[in-house]
């Protein structure tokens, strides 16, 4: 999608356009300073690697001087009106010869003048102003079209089923309060909720390898690596960058990787390689306040975990009612491959690992 126009002066490495792919937007920068003399492709046209996009006449970019406005002559200020000299009157004006008589009848017989009604007494020049009812149309980006195609394709192809559970976030919140400041000083970023869930997901995938598998033709492909896709909302749409080899990551490694990918997503600098692959997806709608939802699987994966907002709710603990920070979680899975027993067991494993992180350390 072209940004620069013919005649525009561009500096070296200045963005002159962008190429939209199915997964991301790739910026196109000027190789040197100069002036755009010709656009070789139209806006929205498909291009292949090696296609020439525009011609730039190399040279120094002259600074554009502001157009000087012609000076305007100062307007002459109006002169005050000078009264002509004349005789000063010494007598008051004459009193009217006749005064109209006052009414002498009873007050009840005097007909009062009716006041104008709100409808009939309104000035015809005052009309009620109605809000304009307008419509506008915008072309869907290639990324948005691809997102729509993939989501609808997932609904049509996969036998999606969702199971739910709830997680007591007390231990994770306590861990953040107790070690969050020290964690931030050492690693330079805050400890969030995503890293415990990523590690819990890896722990559960190792326990239920069928959730990490995928159907290809008439075969089931089991993966012994754990690349977790993280759904991120970007200005261009939903993107799903991948954290590679999460089983070998620490909580700090996960937080750093998520932060770096989030910055790339906001700046629109995610590369295609950042989103290739992925064996399992985590989507955190809780950052927007979502309390409950059913996520859609990211093909060709077989399952996706949906996180939601943490809310304080009354729960039964050892026969007593207590207020605990609770989060609903949802697992949508492909029922062609994953049975209900494996799906429920997988989600309970995540619940167990998040509610007590010692379970992961002890491999219970």
Catalytic: 339?
yes
Catalytic residue among 168, 339, 356, 363: 339
Catalytic: 335?
yes
Q: Is 281 helix (H, G, I), strand (E, B) or coil?
A: strand
Instruction: For residues 153 and 354, give the distance between their C-alpha atoms in angstroms, rounded to a whole number.
Output: 32
DSSP letter, residue 353: H
> Could you tell me where the beta strands, DSSP code E, fall in 275-361?
280-284, 303-307, 310-317, 320-334
- Compute φ and ψ for 11, nearest 5 degrees: -95, 165
The neighbour count for residue 195, using CB atoms within 10 Å, is: 22
User: Which residues are CB-contacts of 107 (< 8 A; sequence separation ≥ 6)?
Assistant: none
Tokens of 333: 């899975």
Q: Which contiguous run of DSSP H or E holds residue 142?
A: helix 142-157
The torsion defined by the Cα of 263, 265, 268 and 269, in degrees rounded to 10, comes to 70
Per-residue burial over 132-167, b if 16 or more Cβ lie within 10 Å, else e, is eeeeeeeeeebbeebbeebeeebeeebebbbeeeeb
Q: State the residue for tokens 């991301």.
A: 24
Up-side HSE of residue 42: CA atoms within 13 Å toward CB? 2
Catalytic residue among 8, 253, 335, 356: 335
* Alpha helices, H only, 158-220: 170-187, 194-207
DSSP letter, residue 169: -
What residues are labeled active site?
335, 339
């Amino acid at each position: 999608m072209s940004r620069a126009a013919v005649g525009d002066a561009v500096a070296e490495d200045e963005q002159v356009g962008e190429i939209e792919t199915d997964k991301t937007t790739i910026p196109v920068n000027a190789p040197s300073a100069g002036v755009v003399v010709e656009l070789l492709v139209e806006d929205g046209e498909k291009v292949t690697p090696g296609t020439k996009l525009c011609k730039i006449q190399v040279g120094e970019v002259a600074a554009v001087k502001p157009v000087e406005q012609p000076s305007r002559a100062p307007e002459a200020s109006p002169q005050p009106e000078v009264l002509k000299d004349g005789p000063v009157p010494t007598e008051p004006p004459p009193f009217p010869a006749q005064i109209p008589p006052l009414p002498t009848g009873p007050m009840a017989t005097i007909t009062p003048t009716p006041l104008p009604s709100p409808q009939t007494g309104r000035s015809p020049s005052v009309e009620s102003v109605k809000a304009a009812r307008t419509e506008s149309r915008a072309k869907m980006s290639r990324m948005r079209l691809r997102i729509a195609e993939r989501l609808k394709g997932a609904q049509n192809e996969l036998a999606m089923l969702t199971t739910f559970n709830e997680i007591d976030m007390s231990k994770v919140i306590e861990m953040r309060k107790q070690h969050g400041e020290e964690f931030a000083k050492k690693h330079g970023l805050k400890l969030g909720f995503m890293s415990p869930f990523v590690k819990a997901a890896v722990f559960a995938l190792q326990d239920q390898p069928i959730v990490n598998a995928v159907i290809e033709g008439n075969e089931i492909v089991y993966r012994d690596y754990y690349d977790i896709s993280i759904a991120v909302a970007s200005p261009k749409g939903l993107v799903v960058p991948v954290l590679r080899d999460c089983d070998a990551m620490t909580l700090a490694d996960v937080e750093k990787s998520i932060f770096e990918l989030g910055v790339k997503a906001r700046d629109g600098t995610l590369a295609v390689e950042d989103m290739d692959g992925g064996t399992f997806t985590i989507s955190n709608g809780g950052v927007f306040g979502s309390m409950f939802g059913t996520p859609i699987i990211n093909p060709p994966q077989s399952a996706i975990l949906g996180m939601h907002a943490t809310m304080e709710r009354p729960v039964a603990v050892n026969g007593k009612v207590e207020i605990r920070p609770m989060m609903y979680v949802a697992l949508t899975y492909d029922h062609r491959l994953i049975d209900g027993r494996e799906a429920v067991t997988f989600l309970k494993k995540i619940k167990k690992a998040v509610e007590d992180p010692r379970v992961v350390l002890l491999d219970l």
